[in-house]
Structure 1
Amino acid sequence: MPASIGRPSHPPPGHHGWCGLTIGRMNQTRTTSTDWSGLARGLDGTLLRPGEEGYGVARLPYNSRFEVHPRAVVFAQGVEDVRETLAFARRHGLPLAARSGSHSYGGWSTSPGITLDLGRMNAVATGAGTATIGGGALLIDAYDALLAENLSIPAGSCPTVGIAGLTLGGGLGSVCRAYGLTCDRLVSAVVVTADGRIRQCSAEREPELFWALRGGGGGNFGVVTGFTFRTHPTTEVTRASLQWSWRDAARVVDAWQRWAPTRPDEEWSCLGLSAEPTGGCTVAVSLYVLGDGPDVADTLVAAVGIEPVEQRSEVISYREMIMSMTGSQGTVSQLHLTGRTPDAVLDRPPFVAASNFFPVHLPAAGIRALVAAVARRAADGGPGYVLLDSLRGAVGRVAPDATAFVHRDALFSAQYHCMFDPGTPAAALDRAARWLRGLRRAMRPWAGDSAYVNYADPYLDDYARAYYGANLPRLVAVKAAYDPDGFFDFPQAVPPRRAGASPR
């Protein structure tokens, strides 16, 4: 583990250790300015190198905790640009990371070699019950295009998350109990694999690769340049928010965890425990119901048995729900990272995070440990957040091995999160990371070592088992079939074979 948790370092280019096995090691050749110029001439898109105008913003990941200076950033205009860039990287032994939203929690969608940005490949087209979305589309832009036709797909809430990373890791969201994970709505995908082949993937064509793309994590099997999803119609939404006194936090957690997973599919809720920098703590629940559900919040209050100090409920449009979940009242154009659109307002905060899935209810001891951890974080100056998202419903009706997303039996997921202002000293992130690790240890008796690959945690002891569980051997086999040399490599990549296995 690195000495400084504030800014974890990337491994040496092309190197990745997993269970004692070293894979993906490439023999780098010297690349000259002539080489780079040749690549640029062969692209319909744009290539930026250090010192060129625009590079300073182009290299930035979402999480400003990480400081990476790629040798080049390629903005692909289409699938042929992707093929050209992959071929160049392989020819010169350069590591490469594909990027759409740049939200990798571990900073791994930015490479010290070539960062391949798909942001220009962001078209959205609807058909008969489907939507085809470019691999570089951000959620805010995909939502905006679909909502114009009163359609949507189940997806996340952060506007600048890429559709690619979200889908490839599974895709939790506020309507997943009704419509499933994002990956559950995937009909087909277009993938450029390490050998440069363009593969059309579906349940009938390349079925093993298609299986892996639904929950096996981004950056593992190829560059996905397009997705086709089954859409669902939009409806009005009942939104409710409730807040209780902190002294009732344990009672609220216990009641909510038993109430939420049993509710009708059209209901979804998130319980938040917050440690504020002011030293205070809050416990609150956000609730969304597809359709008119004015009395749903009252059923939660009855389950808790204590009146909240604040309760609100209103009926809003589906678009209002999407925009409100972004935490901003800005325009679609504004809801981008600064430098990406002319009027973008969203910054790149440093943060640390961890996660769990809970297949069982927390007993009293577990609830006490959770609430006490939040209180300690507040006493330490915060910030710190525990977000429990209700699951099962449609998510749980899919078998754990039907897709690569294995956590189908979870009653709820947990994200432990500490977000800071840009420029926060690394020591503050160090303290926050220690708190997160302590939380995971405290929750291990009930959550095991589970973790969500889309909330990548650089400090997991056995990340592959945490993310993929019993689906890991099948993912390893898919990796061996489609990327046997481990070209798509990063510190938590799926390896092309397990330790001790014979090379194919």
Structure 2
Amino acid sequence: MSQSNQNFIDQFPKHIRIISMGDSLYHYARVISNTRFGHLPAMIAYCKAASDVQDCLAFCKAHTFPFRIRSGGHQHEGMSSGNGVLIIDLSEMDTIEYLDHDHAWISSGKQLGKVYSALEARGQIIPGGGCQSVNVGGLTQGGGWGPSIRKYGMTCDSVLEFEIVLADGTIAYPSATHLPDLFWALKGGGGGNFGVVTKFKFKLSSLGEVTTSFSLLWTERNEAIKALKIWTVLHADLTALDPALSTACGMMIADPKGANLPEGHLSAVHSRMGGLFYGSKDALLALLKKHFGDLIPEESGFVSLLEKKHHPSNKKNLASQKETFSLSRHQSVVSEFVNPTTPMYNPTVLHDRCGDRNLRVLPDAPASTCDRPHPHKVTSGFPKASTVQEHHALVEAIYEYLGRTCFYSDVSRYMSFHCLGGAVTHHPEQRAFAFPTKPYLLQIQCWWDDAGNAFTNEERNKTYVHWVVDFRKNLLPHIENAFINFVDKSLVPHPETPAGRLDLLEMYYGANFKKLREIKKNYDTDNLFDFEMSIPQDKK
């Protein structure tokens, strides 16, 4: 540890745990979810209460010390860390405080899988995300997409109040009646823009008597395309589909071995669908067959199909609950299926048309997008389509691009389709999410290597980042804007410039950007919360 770092640490209250360069746990503590970024922060401060955050901010202001806020570290562009910064880490703020049967304070550092497990024992849920290892803080402030979205809305829709440490060091509690402008901005305005949110008061929702989770796979070309065409058009009418059903789909590059490929294609393309239904297995099967017809197999043809009955825990049923597959675990299985990493195919020998990458490769892709840190690149967009033909053209363009991409078993590259509609359309003026009338959300994803292979091949990183950027560029006739939870700073040529940042952020915040800048000026006068994609003040 350097003497300067030690001098800084000596100024912190002794109850705040600080890890800095030279400490034995430093290289563990500095890791974030996207290991494509090898940031070397100066220190990591583990906060356990809002008062600890106050102390960290006071230190940073007194010493003009740069900082970043880290809840779970899943910021896709690595902006929850940086070189030479203090990381204000909230992961040890991981409590659930029940206020009554239907309300609870949940801390920013609480991991989503643990939230699901605790609430399921009560027969309840919040509409969180699909990745169990994401923490509540960043997910909720960005809006939050998950498998209950059409039933209960975005994650932020269930928040009734925030606890936040503001730039001036005060702790505030914005709600619909107190600081309503800040309350609105925090519901979809992105993490770290207006202060450090330390906990959220959630309205808890009921799981009902039974939920059913499922996964489906289509490998034959015509079926893979037809399934996604039906899915996109089905969601184009925002209220036609039963809101009890929320789904996500994936269209991904697959092993070409044995496939009858179209002319010019290098890989097979498979489609997957998974989701959560608030109802019985029989009702779900009837609903799927109604909309997808003969694309829906008999029960034995599903990759997974689980009906789960829910009862609040008591001494009588606690033992039997432990013997069943938890909804939390099955949501994780569905998420990992729709967002594939472990290939369902045997590793293939590189064929002549794909050539030799001259890159060091691993035998398989990462085991999961959620289980541990991996280098990755994602981006997002919303469909421009307003007609059946335009939705179909989008699906065909995605299939065509993926089919002309080489399949390698050590990397997963695919397009995810995330449903919207249903409850997302309810009271859109109450949150900062700017695209409530879009039927679905698109996310291009590329995952490779794992934490043990991080920082070892820059050329490999560049190759896969370029693939994501080029894929999105190819789809620009069909897509627009972007979703802040799936952040990508490469959407404009020069995001590092003031003008470039404005152009970039307008793609994420749409018509709400001007209002968000005004709120930023009101609550962060000196622009304390400033990072690569933070909302700048409106100085007019």
Normalising by the smaller structure, the TM-score range is 0.7 to 0.9
Change over 3 Å in CA distance of 1:239–1:327 after alignment to 2: closer
| Pair 1:250-2:225 in alignment | yes
Of stretches 378-387 and 133-142 in structure 1, the one that deviates more from structure 2 is: 378-387
| Pair 1:445-2:437 in alignment | no
What is the SS of the residue equivalent to 1:140? helix
What is the SS of the residue equivalent to 2:114? helix
| Pair 1:405-2:417 in alignment | no
What is the SS of the residue equivalent to 2:252? strand
CA shift at 1:367, angstroms?
A: 2.1
Which aligned pairs between 1:1-16 and structure 2 lie closer than 5 A? none
Change over 3 Å in CA distance of 1:486–1:100 after alignment to 2: same
- Name the aligned partner's letter for residue 421 of structure 2: R
CA shift at 1:280, angstroms?
A: 3.6
Change over 3 Å in CA distance of 1:496–1:316 after alignment to 2: same
Q: 1:267 aligns with which of 217, 225, 245?
A: 245
User: Which residue number corresponds to residue 23 of structure 1?
Assistant: none
Change over 3 Å in CA distance of 1:205–1:286 after alignment to 2: same
Cα deviations by residue, 1:316-365 (Å, 9 ceiling, x for unpaired):
256733212223999xxxxxxxxxxxxxx932111110111236354433
User: Which residue number corresponds to residue 14 of structure 1?
Assistant: none
- Name the aligned partner's letter for residue 372 of structure 1: E
User: Which residue number corresponds to residue 385 of structure 2?
Assistant: 360
- Name the aligned partner's letter for residue 327 of structure 1: V
* Structure 2: runs of 5+ lacking an equivalent: 257-266, 311-324, 337-369, 493-502
User: Which residue number corresponds to residue 418 of structure 2?
Assistant: 389
| Pair 1:415-2:407 in alignment | no
| Pair 1:325-2:331 in alignment | yes
What is the SS of the residue equivalent to 2:11? helix
CA shift at 1:445, angstroms?
A: 3.0
Cα deviations by residue, 1:296-318 (Å, 9 ceiling, x for unpaired):
34544554454457435331256
User: Which residue number corresponds to residue 284 of structure 1?
Assistant: 272
How far apart in 2 are the matches of 1:37 and 1:303? 61
| Pair 1:51-2:80 in alignment | no
1:238–1:294 CA contact under 8 A, matched in 2: no
- Name the aligned partner's letter for residue 370 of structure 1: I
Q: 2:127 aligns with which of 150, 154, 163?
A: 154
Which aligned pairs between 1:114-263 and structure 2 lie closer than 5 A? 114-128=86-100, 129-235=102-208, 236-248=210-222, 249-260=224-235, 261=238, 262-263=240-241
Of stretches 470-479 and 428-437 in structure 1, the one that deviates more from structure 2 is: 428-437
Change over 3 Å in CA distance of 1:470–1:353 after alignment to 2: same
Change over 3 Å in CA distance of 1:233–1:72 after alignment to 2: same
| Pair 1:102-2:108 in alignment | no
How far apart in 2 are the matches of 1:417 and 1:327? 18
- Name the aligned partner's letter for residue 391 of structure 1: L
Of stretches 481-490 and 373-382 in structure 1, the one that deviates more from structure 2 is: 373-382
User: Which residue number corresponds to residue 49 of structure 2?
Assistant: 78
1:43–1:81 CA contact under 8 A, matched in 2: no
How far apart in 1 are the matches of 2:14 and 2:119? 30
- Name the aligned partner's letter for residue 243 of structure 1: L
| Pair 1:88-2:59 in alignment | yes
2:269–2:399 CA contact under 8 A, matched in 1: no
What is the SS of the residue equivalent to 1:356? strand
Percent of aligned pairs with the same amino acid: 28
CA shift at 1:255, angstroms?
A: 0.8
Change over 3 Å in CA distance of 1:196–1:465 after alignment to 2: same
What is the SS of the residue equivalent to 1:161? coil
How far apart in 2 are the matches of 1:409 and 1:493? 25
1:485–1:496 CA contact under 8 A, matched in 2: no
Of stretches 68-77 and 275-284 in structure 1, the one that deviates more from structure 2 is: 275-284
- Name the aligned partner's letter for residue 46 of structure 2: F
1:251–1:304 CA contact under 8 A, matched in 2: no
Change over 3 Å in CA distance of 1:328–1:465 after alignment to 2: closer
1:378–1:384 CA contact under 8 A, matched in 2: no
How far apart in 2 are the matches of 1:412 and 1:298? 23
How far apart in 2 are the matches of 1:218 and 1:84? 20
CA shift at 1:446, angstroms?
A: 3.4
Cα deviations by residue, 1:436-468 (Å, 9 ceiling, x for unpaired):
2233233333322x1110111021213211110
Of stretches 68-77 and 372-381 in structure 1, the one that deviates more from structure 2 is: 372-381
Which aligned pairs between 1:433-472 and structure 2 lie closer than 5 A? 433-448=465-480, 450-461=481-492, 462-472=503-513
What is the SS of the residue equivalent to 1:444? coil
CA shift at 1:489, angstroms?
A: 1.3
User: Which residue number corresponds to residue 263 of structure 2?
Assistant: none
User: Which residue number corresponds to residue 13 of structure 1?
Assistant: none
How far apart in 2 are the matches of 1:298 and 1:445? 36
How far apart in 1 are the matches of 2:56 and 2:48? 11
Change over 3 Å in CA distance of 1:455–1:95 after alignment to 2: same
2:221–2:269 CA contact under 8 A, matched in 1: no
Change over 3 Å in CA distance of 1:93–1:276 after alignment to 2: farther
How far apart in 2 are the matches of 1:329 and 1:213? 26
User: Which residue number corresponds to residue 536 of structure 2?
Assistant: 495
Q: 2:463 aligns with which of 421, 431, 435?
A: 431
How far apart in 1 are the matches of 2:221 and 2:334? 30
CA shift at 1:32, angstroms?
A: 3.0
Aligned length: 453
CA shift at 1:68, angstroms?
A: 0.7
How far apart in 1 are the matches of 2:79 and 2:164? 19
How far apart in 2 are the matches of 1:164 and 1:43? 25
- Name the aligned partner's letter for residue 385 of structure 2: V
What is the SS of the residue equivalent to 1:294? helix
User: Which residue number corresponds to residue 336 of structure 1?
Assistant: none
CA shift at 1:246, angstroms?
A: 3.5
Cα deviations by residue, 1:256-277 (Å, 9 ceiling, x for unpaired):
1122453111111111111136
CA shift at 1:33, angstroms?
A: 4.5
Cα deviations by residue, 1:369-422 (Å, 9 ceiling, x for unpaired):
1111121234577521111111100011222x4311111011011111011122
How far apart in 2 are the matches of 1:472 and 1:110? 24
- Name the aligned partner's letter for residue 386 of structure 1: M
User: Which residue number corresponds to residue 345 of structure 2?
Assistant: none
Q: CA RMSD in A?
A: 2.5
How far apart in 2 are the matches of 1:70 and 1:38? 17
Change over 3 Å in CA distance of 1:299–1:439 after alignment to 2: farther
What is the SS of the residue equivalent to 1:101? coil
1:269–1:288 CA contact under 8 A, matched in 2: yes
Change over 3 Å in CA distance of 1:441–1:306 after alignment to 2: farther
Change over 3 Å in CA distance of 1:304–1:291 after alignment to 2: closer
TM-score by length of 2: 0.79
Of stretches 408-417 and 305-314 in structure 1, the one that deviates more from structure 2 is: 305-314
User: Which residue number corresponds to residue 7 of structure 1?
Assistant: none
CA shift at 1:108, angstroms?
A: 0.7
| Pair 1:475-2:516 in alignment | yes
